[in-house]
Chain A
């Protein structure tokens, strides 16, 4: 079973703070995707990381894929209320797509 664990499950911070969300597994993934989902809406793809050690930046969001392709992190700099939502990582192990349990982020103004 390819299990993806996300931490923390919940995070409530003030506007302007930095945060990091982690996505960990004992399995190797050929790629890993990060999504953000708002209540009542579908997940929106943020980024896909493919190469071990890869770092991708999307404005204030920085995504990193672990060297061994078993884990990933999402770092948000100077969080804004618009960043509020459910962040999901999803790993592709070739025969199935596994979603992490999600991190629910609330950024207070």
Chain B
């Protein structure tokens, strides 16, 4: 099973709303990632969690707050977003994280629209 699941598939939210994106994997992977992808662009790394601890934060604004409740789950809490934050948000996981030596498996993404 190489599946990473993400919910919801689509999300529309206002700039004053608070919402959360969820990601789950049952491959026993110990590293999980959040990426942001704008239209016709490659994915951009936001956060890396390794063994449930935040390892990398790519200077992401504080209106994005990641959380890793356990080794299978990764959340991204959203608050006071801007319209330019509209994008496809991708979750990925890998067996481990040692400088990206391990293959990453992506979820289907959440299409976020901020109005």
Q: Hey, which bits of chain A sit against chain B, CB under 8 A? A: 30-31, 33, 35, 40-45, 48, 88, 92-97, 99-102, 104
Contact = CB atoms under 8 A, between A and B. Distances in A.
Contacts of A40: 88, 108-109, 111
Contacts of B99: 92, 94-96
Nearest to B91: A42
A30 B98 CA distance: 12
B101 A31 contact: yes
A93 B101 CA distance: 9
A42 B103 contact: no
A52 to B, nearest CB: 16
Contacts of B34: none
A94 B42 contact: no
Chain B contact surface mostly? loop
Contacts of A104: 40
A48 B105 CA distance: 12
A104 B42 CA distance: 11
Contacts of B40: 102, 104
A92 B105 contact: no
A97 B109 contact: no
Given A41-B109, A42-B106, A44-B106, A88 B100 contact: no
Interface residues of B, number: 22
B45 interface: yes
B7 interface: no
Given A40-B88, A99-B42, A94 B100 contact: yes
A5 to B, nearest CB: 12
Contacts of B21: none
A42 B88 CA distance: 9
B43 interface: yes
B82 to A, nearest CB: 22
A44 B6 CA distance: 15
B37 to A, nearest CB: 9
Given A41-B108, A43-B106, A99 B43 contact: yes
Given A33-B104, A97-B45, 10 more contacts: A30-B101, A35-B106, A40-B111, A41-B108, A43-B43, A43-B90, A45-B106, A88-B42, A93-B100, A102-B42
